Amino acid sequence: MIQTINLTKKYGASQVLNIESLEIPKGQSFGLVGNNGAGKTTYFNILLDLIRPTTGEIVNNKIVVNKSEDWKTFTGSFIDESFLIGYLTPQEYFEFIGDLRGMNKADVKAFVSKFKEFFNDEILGKKKYLRDLSKGNQKKAGIVAAMMGNPQVIILDEPFANLDPTTQIRLKNMLKSLTDNKEVTILISSHDLSHVTDVCERIVVLDKGNLVKDINTSPETLKELESYFSV
C-alpha cells in the first residue's frame, strides 16, 4: 500500500531522515516511535506532501505523493491544529470536510453522531470556534475529521497527546475497530510506547532519521522498546 524508496531529507548539511526501504501493506496498523528529532513528523509530512524529500519518494497506493494529488481522495490525516480552520465551529468544519469527501449534511450528521461518547459533550452544539477549544478537544475534532469519507489510509501524528485517560482509551478502541476488517491502513506516531504497542501490529523505531528497529508486535514488544529507550 505504502512504499518508501531511498528517502532522505536534509536541511543544509544536516540530514534528518534516511530510510532506504520501508513497505506498509494494506490493512496494517503501523506505529512509528522515536525520541524528539528522530524524524517521525518529517516522515509524515513527506508522506502528506507538506514538505518535499531531498532524494527518493513515497508511493501511496501506486501514486507518488509529490507528483500527483490523487492519493488525497483516499487518505485522511491529522498532524496538528494547523490542519483545522480556526474560525469555523466544529460542526461547520465537519461539514466542510464532509463536502470535500462527497458527503451531504445528513451523511455528516449521521457520521459525527457516532462519536458522541468520544466528544464527551465538549465539541458539538457549544457555539465555540475551533480556535477557542482546548488542545485536547481540537485534537478530537481533527481525528474524527481524518476518518470522514471512509479513507483507505489514516495518518495520525501523536494522537494520544493532550487527551485525558478516558479519551485515550476510547481512541484506542476506535483505532482497533477500524483495523479489524483489514481494509484501512493506519499510521500512528507516538511517544507513548504503551498505547502504540496496544494499537499497532507493527512498530518501527527511528533514531536520528534512521530506521533502527522493525518489530511485529508481541506481548514482549513493550519491554523490548522500554529497554531500547532506557539505554
User: What is the per-residue pLDDT across 23-32, written as a single tens digit (0 to 9) for each?
Assistant: 999 999 999 9
Q: How would you classify residue 4: left for phi > 0, otherwise alpha for psi between -120 and 50, otherwise beta?
A: beta
Interval 211-230 mean pLDDT: 95
pLDDT at 178: 87
With a cut of 80, say whether residue 135 has pLDDT above it: yes
Q: Where are the alpha helices (DSSP H) in the chain?
A: 40-47, 90-100, 105-113, 116-119, 135-146, 165-179, 193-199, 221-229
* Model pLDDT, residue 73: 94
Residue 149: phi and psi, rounded to 5, are 80, 20
Verdict on whether the full-model pTM lies above 0.85: yes
User: C-alpha grid cell for residue 30?
Assistant: 503501523
- And the C-alpha cell for 46? 513527506
Q: Yes or no: say if 87 and 131 are a contact pair by the CB < 8 Å rule.
A: yes
Please, are residues 30 and 200 in contact by the beta-carbon 8 Å criterion? yes
Task: Give pLDDT, residue 158.
Answer: 95
CATH code for the structural domain at 2-229? 3.40.50.300
What are the boundaries of each domain within the chain?
2-229
Euclidean distance between the first and final Cα of the chain, in Å?
A: 34
Of 31, 24, 51, 55, give the one whose Cα is nearest residue 157: 31
Q: Quick check: 181 pLDDT over 80?
A: no
**Nearest CA to 130 among 142, 112, 113?**
142
57 contacts 12 by C-beta, under 8 angstroms: no
The reported pLDDT for the residue numbered 183 is 86
pLDDT digits (tens, 9 = 90+) for 73-114: 999 999 999 999 999 999 999 999 999 999 999 999 999 999
Question: Which residues, 6 or more positions from 178, have their beta carbon under 8 angstroms from its beta carbon?
Answer: 147, 154, 184, 186
